[in-house]
């Protein structure tokens, strides 16, 4: 299909091209246009009918949106901005140069301008910044019939009318009522009698992660946002929550892999920005591994007498790191899904201790067998039995340390208000490396004649 459209562009068959585009989904039109050169993209974008243009625009990435909007005439730009939902418009404006924002806000209609300005004031990642101000609010003393006629009247421009919000005379939120409930109710029933007063609401300043948890916990489609006096100021719809959820998961995953989270998709991030997101942790971890180097240097005497011990250092450190990583990643995910909290710390430690002992003993047994069978030839003057014992003992104890450190640190880090994901594998690995090495050398010096 994309091929055919490209042919039409080349042949300048603009009428047929317009027809072809009208048959496509708006998301697909946006994706297709994003791949074109700006000039061509702009020409085709202007072929679209007004209402479809606004819809397509909503799906552009920020960068394309900005290029398009700064090429449009004032009246065309006004049409787009007025037709976007205020939350999308605010996201767009937040990223644009101040002079363009000014021009656009000057041209938008007063109501749009007020809505956007309000959204721009809330802190990043707060419920206020992701809410939309387009919702249907109804007075509690309306009948179902009156409510329906009001919805018919004001509903057209609202992001969702599936749930309506019932307010008292001071604009305080006192209940929610679904369109379905209104529709299925006796026409003369009052809203206050059919509304649900046991609803879930959130404050404008609540963190967006908390919002995501509530959507998930209560299976919501939308959620009202209220100010400190319980007045309704906006709603959050589930489509925005889905995006935030993926974004938060991506951030956690990136932090776990020692990457500073970025905002753009991989292929749209410049080489320079990718470098900036990766190099800080690489440097920190490289310099901190100087400690492991120092430990090895300190035990150089022991190693000189039993060089074969060096051969097991990578395996020991690797296994310790993997064991600790498993625990920390599991706990970080459980923390971020709210399955585990500070209050569970002792249950977690007790559980990890038992898992660690099981894992450690299994690994030690496996390693002992493997060494006795395959490594006989490499031992020089040392007894294979003694070396296998040292390595296996070090394994059990370092897996135990790794799993306990791995489960405690993320909980403590969250406790002091930081994101536990920074405590994932790489950083914990460095701590565990040091522990494993010291244990290894201590066992070696105690058991082997060196």
Among 87, 91, 115, 252, binds a second copy (CB under 8 A): 252
Q: Binding marks (x or -) toward a second copy, 72..111, rule CB under 8 A? A: ----------------------------------------
Q: Contact letters (x/-) for a second copy, 363-382, by CB under 8 A?
A: x--xx--x---x---x----
* Residue number, 265 or 417, with CB nearest to a second copy: 265
Say whether residue 220 binds a second copy (CB under 8 A).
yes
Sign of CA pseudo-dihedral 432, 434, 438, 441: positive
Pairing of strands 222-226, 202-203: parallel
**Among residues 1, 67, 315, 412, the one that binds a second copy under rule CB under 8 A:** 315
Q: Which of 69, 144, 258, 306 binds a second copy (CB under 8 A)?
A: 258
Q: Smallest distance from the beta carbon of 217 to a second copy, in angstroms?
A: 6
| One residue of 32, 45, 215, 441 binding a second copy per CB under 8 A | 215
Site for a second copy in 152-191 (CB under 8 A): 152, 155-156, 161-162, 179-180, 183-184
Q: Are 395 and 362 in contact (CB under 8 A)?
A: no
Nearest distance from residue 315's CB to a second copy, in Å?
Answer: 4
Q: Interaction with a second copy in 325-344: which residues (CB under 8 A)?
A: 325-326, 329-331, 333-334, 337, 339-340, 344
What's the CA dihedral at 58, 62, 66, 69 to 10 degrees? Answer: 0
Q: Which of residues 416-435 bind a second copy (CB under 8 A)?
A: 425-426, 429-430, 433
Candidates 97, 123, 318, 449; binder of a second copy (CB under 8 A) is 318
Q: Does 235 bind a second copy (CB under 8 A)?
A: no
Residue 447, class by beta-carbon neighbours within 10 Å (0-12 exposed, 13-18 middle, 19+ buried)? middle
| Binders of a second copy in range 3-42 (CB under 8 A) | 23-25, 27
CB within 8 A of 218, min separation 6: which ones? 200
Among positions 98, 267, 373, 416, the unique one binding a second copy when judged by CB under 8 A: 267
Residue in this structure with the two tokens 């995910």, named with its chain if needed: 333
Q: Residue 146, interface with a second copy (CB under 8 A)?
A: no
Q: Number of residues interacting with a second copy: please give it, by CB under 8 A.
A: 109
List all residues 6 or more positions away from 92 whose beta carbon is below 8 Å from its beta carbon.
62, 65, 66, 69, 84
Site for a second copy in 345-364 (CB under 8 A): 347-348, 351, 354-355, 358-359, 362-363
Give the residue with the Cβ less far from a second copy, 81 or 407.
Answer: 407
Chosen residue from 311, 372, 412, 418 binding a second copy by CB under 8 A: 311
The dihedral formed by the CA atoms of 333, 335, 340 and 344, expressed in degrees to the nearest 10: 120
**d(C-alpha 349, C-alpha 353), whole Å:** 6
Give the CA distances from residue 223 to residues 211, 213, 215, 385, in Å, rounded to whole numbers and listed in that order.
Answer: 9, 12, 8, 65
CB atoms inside a 10 Å sphere around CB 291: 14
């Amino acid at each position: 299909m994309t091929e055919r459209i490209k042919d039409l562009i080349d042949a300048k068959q603009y009428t047929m091209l317009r027809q072809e585009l009208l048959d496509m989904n708006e998301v697909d039109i946006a994706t297709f246009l994003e791949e074109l050169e700006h000039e061509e993209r702009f020409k085709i974008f202007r072929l679209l009918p007004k209402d479809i243009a606004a819809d397509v625009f909503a799906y552009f990435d920020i960068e394309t949106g900005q290029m398009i909007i700064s090429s449009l005439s004032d009246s065309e730009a006004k049409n787009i901005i007025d037709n976007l939902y205020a939350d999308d418009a605010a996201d767009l404006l937040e990223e644009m140069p101040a002079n363009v924002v000014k021009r656009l806000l000057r041209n938008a209609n007063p109501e749009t301008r007020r809505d956007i300005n309000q959204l721009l004031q809330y802190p990043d990642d707060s419920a206020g910044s992701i809410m939309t101000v387009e919702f249907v609010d109804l007075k509690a003393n309306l009948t179902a019939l009156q409510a329906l006629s009001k919805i018919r009247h004001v509903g057209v421009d609202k992001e969702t009318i599936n749930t309506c919000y019932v307010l008292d005379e001071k604009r305080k939120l006192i209940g929610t009522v679904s369109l379905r409930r209104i529709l299925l109710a006796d026409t003369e029933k009052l809203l206050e009698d059919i509304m649900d007063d046991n609803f879930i609401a959130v404050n404008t300043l609540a963190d967006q992660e908390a919002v995501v948890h509530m959507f998930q916990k209560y299976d919501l489609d939308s959620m009202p946002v209220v100010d400190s006096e319980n007045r309704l100021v906006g709603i959050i719809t589930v489509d925005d929550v889905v995006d935030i959820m993926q974004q938060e998961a991506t951030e956690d995953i990136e932090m776990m892999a020692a990457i500073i989270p970025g905002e753009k998709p991989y292929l749209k991030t410049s080489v320079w920005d990718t470098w900036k997101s990766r190099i800080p942790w690489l440097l920190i971890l490289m310099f901190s591994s100087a400690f492991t180097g120092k430990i090895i240097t300190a035990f150089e005497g022991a190693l000189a007498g039993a060089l074969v011990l060096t051969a097991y250092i990578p395996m020991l450190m690797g296994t310790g790191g993997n064991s600790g990583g498993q625990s920390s990643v599991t706990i970080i995910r459980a923390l971020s899904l709210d399955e585990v909290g500070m209050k569970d710390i002792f249950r977690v430690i007790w559980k990890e201790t038992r898992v660690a002992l099981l894992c450690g003993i299994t690994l030690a047994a496996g390693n002992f067998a493997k060494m006795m069978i395959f490594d006989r030839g490499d031992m020089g003057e040392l007894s294979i039995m003694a070396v296998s014992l040292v390595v296996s003992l070090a394994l059990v104890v370092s897996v135990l340390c790794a799993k306990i450190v791995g489960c405690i640190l993320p909980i403590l880090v969250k406790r002091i208000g930081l994101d536990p994901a920074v405590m994932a594998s790489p950083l914990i690995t460095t701590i565990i490396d040091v522990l494993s090495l010291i244990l290894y050398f201590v066992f070696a010096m105690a058991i082997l004649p060196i």
